[in-house]
């Protein structure tokens, strides 16, 4: 409900608009004087109760190549309660160029897209990129409460200058301990060794960023040799993962004219482990299903790394284990590593694609994909198997002799217990069983 208090009672023509979610009272032709009002309800939404803060542009002066962020924040005014629904508001701005021409009404968005960090947080944004020249740019803001159609206006001005201050150079150095193995020191200075605020951001191979401050306080833990010499330092610990690190240093300072300026410099450092690819299809030689090959590995890394394998990865259950002739990849070396891949029993002949899951230290995982050919004919070469086949063949000669004897038995009146029969049968059995044992073991 809404109550009005006027200095003296009198009839006023009040028009009321009522909806399920709001009530608007419009006082036509109000009597001059002080008015008070009181509003009660679960949700209070009145334009007067909504604060509009210009968050940007914050600076009064911009350079010609700038992009001007335009940002407005909505908030409930102090001493009021109730929820604010940012989507009930439309905020727009109109920018006037120095030549007096103006832009159209530009809608600021709270959509969490391109120029807006978060959707629905009541902060509306736009990025103005079309500066036409130096001069004053008055900006008119309009805020509209969509459900009630009520609106209000605000104005501010920013100035664009064509003055281009000469930027100081910034120098960045990285004490590269990639092979030596210790923490990495970075240091930076302006060309004239003047003061500034120095900070760094490092993009780590896994995509995250580390940031911090470089200091000129002479403290050892920052790697700073002497205080206030204009050389700012920081020590970076724990750059563990292999890959590229992009180090960016930013120095903020004030130009002699009082403009806030900054300069950025970046350098890429890297820790690499490289494992060669194997393009050709490798053949398994010998009766046992063991693949042997050599592979080239190279390390540009500051520590020796243990060469191991991920036992969980078995190429779909066919790999039993993997062994190498060397367990260490030394820091800063390249070498050929002999690898033996043991397959599980019962590998069927055929062509396979396996991945050998190398794990180097805790820092590098790489699956090396290899085509493998496993042929049945390869076990025919085995000497023991060959002897077994010869014995089985020899036993067949005895069998033929035995059969011949049985066929001609009646004609020659030879008895089954004839010693020739028994000897031939015994020879066949002995040769045949020995041959089988040799063939299969
Ligand atoms: Ca927003
Ligand atoms: Ca210093």
In tens, the pLDDT along 312-330 reads 888 888 999 999 999 999 9
Nearest CA to 276 out of 239, 329, 318 is that of: 329
Å from CA of 229 to ligand 2 middle: 5
**Domain co-membership, 412 together with 358:** no
Among 44-53, 151-160, 391-400, 407-416, which is the least confidently predicted range? 44-53
Do the Cβ atoms of 171 and 150 come closer than 8 Å? no
Cα(227) to centroid(ligand 2), Å:
5
Residues 213, 192 share a domain: yes
Local confidence band at 185 (pLDDT 50, 70, 90 cut-offs): confident
Residue 219's CATH number: 2.60.40
The ligand whose atoms approach the alpha carbon of 86 most closely is 1
Same domain, 48 and 150: yes
Contact call for residues 360 and 306 (beta carbons, < 8 A): yes
Q: Give pLDDT, residue 227.
A: 94
> Ligand 2: distance of its center to the CA of 230 in Å?
6
User: What's the total number of domains in the chain?
Assistant: 5
98 and 13 in a common domain: no
The answer to whether the beta carbons of residues 137 and 102 sit under 8 Å apart is no
Same domain, 80 and 109: yes
Ligand 2 center to residue 214 CA distance, Å? 9
pLDDT over 70, % of the chain: 82
Question: Residue 10: which pLDDT band, with cuts at 50, 70 and 90?
Answer: low
What is the distance in A from the centroid of ligand 2 to the CA of 237? 19
Q: What is the CA(123)–ligand 1 centre distance, in A?
A: 4
b/e per residue 335-353 (b: at least 16 CB within 10 A): eebebebebeeebeeeebe
Q: Which ligand is nearest to the CA of 114?
A: 1
CATH code: domain of residue 65: 2.60.40.3880
In a domain, 405, yes or no: yes
Position 177 scores a pLDDT of 59
pTM of the full predicted structure? 0.47
* pLDDT at 1 (0 to 100): 45
Tens digits of per-residue pLDDT, 27-73? 666 677 666 665 554 333 444 446 777 787 776 678 887 888 899 88
What gap in Å lies between CA 275 and CA 336, rounded to an integer? Answer: 10
Q: How far is the CA of 256 from the centre of ligand 2 (A)?
A: 22
Rounded Cα distance between 7 and 5, Å, is 7
Alpha-carbon gap, residue 293 to 282, rounded angstroms:
8
Q: Which ligand is nearest to the CA of 228?
A: 2
Q: Which ligand is nearest to the CA of 124?
A: 1
- The C-alpha atoms of residue 201 and residue 245 are separated, in whole angstroms, by 10
Q: Give distance in angstroms: CA of 196 to centre of ligand 2.
A: 12
Is 166 part of a structural domain of the chain? no
User: Cα of 29 to ligand 1 centre, how many Å?
Assistant: 38
Mean pLDDT of 373-388: 70
Domain hosting 19: range is 1-40
Interval between CA 215 and ligand 2 midpoint (Å): 7
In this prediction, residue 439 carries a pLDDT of 74
The answer to whether the beta carbons of residues 233 and 221 sit under 8 Å apart is: no
More confident residue, 305 or 438: 305
Residue 233 — pLDDT band, cuts 50, 70, 90? very high
Q: Is the pLDDT of residue 232 over 80?
A: yes
State in Å: Cα 113 to ligand 1 middle: 9
Q: Is residue 100 one of the residues assigned to a domain?
A: yes
Check residue 378 and give its pLDDT: 47
pLDDT score of 77:
56
- Measured CA distances, 397 to 40, 305, 394, 425, 429 (Å): 115, 62, 5, 11, 12
pLDDT band at 238 (very low <50, low <70, confident <90, very high): low
For the stretch 130-145, pLDDT in tens is 988 889 999 998 888 8
* 426, burial (CB in 10 Å: exposed 0-12, middle 13-18, buried 19+): exposed
Ligand nearest to the CA of 73: 1
Last residue of a domain, one of 347, 377, 407: 377
Measure 401 CA to ligand 2 centroid, in angstroms: 103
Ligand nearest to the CA of 222: 2
Q: Which residue has the higher pLDDT, 207 or 20?
A: 207
pLDDT at 68: 86
Within this chain, do residues 420 and 387 fall inside the same structural domain, yes or no? yes
Nearest-ligand number for the alpha carbon of 108: 1
Q: Is residue 53 part of a domain?
A: yes
- Give the residue with greater pLDDT, 64 vs 17: 64
Longest dimension (CA), the chain: 153
* CATH at residue 288: 2.60.40.10
Tell which of 354, 377, 400 closes a domain: 377
Ligand with the closest atom to the CA of 74? 1
Same domain, yes or no: 256 and 315: no
The pLDDT tens digits for 260-271 are 888 999 988 888
Task: Spell out where 204-289 has E strands.
Answer: 209-214, 232-236, 243-254, 260-275, 282-283
Q: What's the 120 CA to ligand 1 centre distance in angstroms?
A: 6
82 part of a folded domain: yes
- Considering the domain architecture, whether residues 157 and 237 belong to the same structural domain is answered as no
Averaged pLDDT, 158-169? 80
pLDDT of residue 211: 93
What is the number of the ligand closest to the CA of 189? 2
Assigned domain for 345 exists: yes
Q: Are residues 102 and 32 in the same domain?
A: no
What is the pLDDT of the chain when averaged over all its residues? 82
Is the domain of 284 the same as that of 334? Answer: yes
**DSSP result, 320-378:** EEEEES-SEE-TT-EEEEEEEEEEPTTPPSEEEEEEEEEEETTTEEEEEEEEEEE-GGG
Mean pLDDT to the nearest integer, 151-170: 81
| Mean pLDDT across 354-373 | 90
Report yes or no on 77 lying in a domain. yes
Which residues are placed with Cβ below 5 angstroms of ligand 1, an ion? Answer: 110, 116, 118, 121, 123
Q: What is the mean pLDDT of residues 334-351?
A: 91
CA of 214 to the centre of ligand 1 (A): 32
At residue 387, does pLDDT exceed 70? Answer: yes
Q: Which ligand has the minimum distance to the alpha carbon of residue 126?
A: 1
Region 233-256: mean pLDDT is 86
Q: Name the residue with higher pLDDT: 401 or 176.
A: 401
Ligand nearest to the CA of residue 185, numbered in listed order? 2
| 62 alpha carbon – ligand 1 mean position (Å) | 24
- Region 14-34: mean pLDDT is 65
The per-residue pLDDT for 63 is: 80
Ligand 1 centre to CA of 108 (Å) is: 9
In angstroms, what is the span from residue 402 Cα to ligand 1's centroid? 99
127 — pLDDT class (breaks 50, 70, 90): very high
Alpha carbon of 20 to ligand 1 centroid (Å): 27
* Ligand number with the minimum distance to the CA of 231: 2
Answer yes or no: do 138 and 57 share one domain. Answer: yes
Same domain, yes or no: 155 and 224: no
In the reported structure, the alpha carbon of residue 233 is separated from the centroid of ligand 2 by a whole-number distance in angstroms of: 7
Of 345, 377, 409, which marks where a domain is finished? 377
């Amino acid at each position: 409900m809404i109550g009005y208090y006027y200095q003296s009672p009198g009839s006023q023509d009040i028009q009321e608009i009522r909806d399920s979610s709001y009530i608007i009272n419009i006082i036509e032709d109000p009597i001059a004087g002080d008015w008070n009002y009181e509003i009660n309800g679960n949700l209070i939404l009145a334009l007067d109760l909504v604060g509009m803060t210009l968050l940007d542009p914050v600076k009064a002066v911009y350079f010609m190549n700038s992009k001007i962020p335009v940002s407005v924040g909505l908030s409930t005014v102090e001493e009021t309660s109730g929820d604010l629904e940012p989507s009930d508001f439309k905020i727009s701005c109109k920018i006037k160029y120095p030549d007096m021409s103006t832009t159209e009404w530009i809608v600021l968005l709270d959509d969490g897209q391109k120029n807006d960090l978060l959707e629905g947080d009541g902060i509306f944004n736009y990025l103005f990129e079309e500066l036409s020249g130096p001069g004053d740019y008055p900006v008119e803001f309009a805020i509209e409460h969509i459900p009630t159609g009520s609106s209000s206006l605000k104005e501010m001005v920013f100035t664009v200058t064509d003055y281009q201050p000469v930027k100081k150079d910034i120098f960045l150095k990285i004490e590269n301990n990639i092979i030596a193995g210790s923490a990495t020191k970075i240091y930076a200075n302006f060309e004239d060794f003047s003061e500034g605020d120095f900070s760094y951001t490092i993009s780590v191979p896994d995509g995250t960023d580390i940031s911090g401050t470089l200091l000129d306080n002479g403290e050892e833990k920052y790697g700073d040799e002497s205080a206030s010499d204009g050389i700012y330092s920081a020590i970076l610990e724990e750059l563990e993962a292999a890959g590229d690190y992009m180090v960016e240093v930013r120095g903020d300072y004030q130009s002699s004219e009082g403009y806030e300026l900054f300069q950025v410099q970046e350098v890429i450092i890297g820790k690499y482990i490289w494992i060669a690819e194997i393009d050709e299809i490798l053949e398994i030689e010998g009766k046992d299903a063991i693949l042997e090959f050599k592979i080239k590995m190279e390390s540009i890394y500051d520590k020796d790394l243990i060469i191991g394998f991920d036992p969980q990865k078995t190429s779909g259950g066919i790999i039993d284990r993997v062994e190498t002739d060397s367990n260490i990849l030394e820091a800063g070396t390249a070498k050929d590593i002999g690898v033996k891949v043991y397959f599980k029993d019962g590998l069927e002949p055929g062509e396979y694609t396996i991945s050998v899951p190398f794990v180097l230290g805790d820092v590098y995982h790489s699956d090396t994909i290899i085509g493998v050919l496993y042929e049945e004919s390869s076990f025919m070469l085995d000497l023991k198997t060959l002897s077994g086949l010869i014995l089985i063949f020899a036993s067949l000669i005895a069998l033929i002799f035995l059969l011949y004897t049985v066929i001609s038995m009646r004609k020659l009146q030879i008895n089954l217990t004839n010693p020739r029969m028994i000897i031939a049968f015994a020879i066949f059995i002995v040769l045949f069983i020995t041959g089988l044992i040799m063939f299969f073991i």
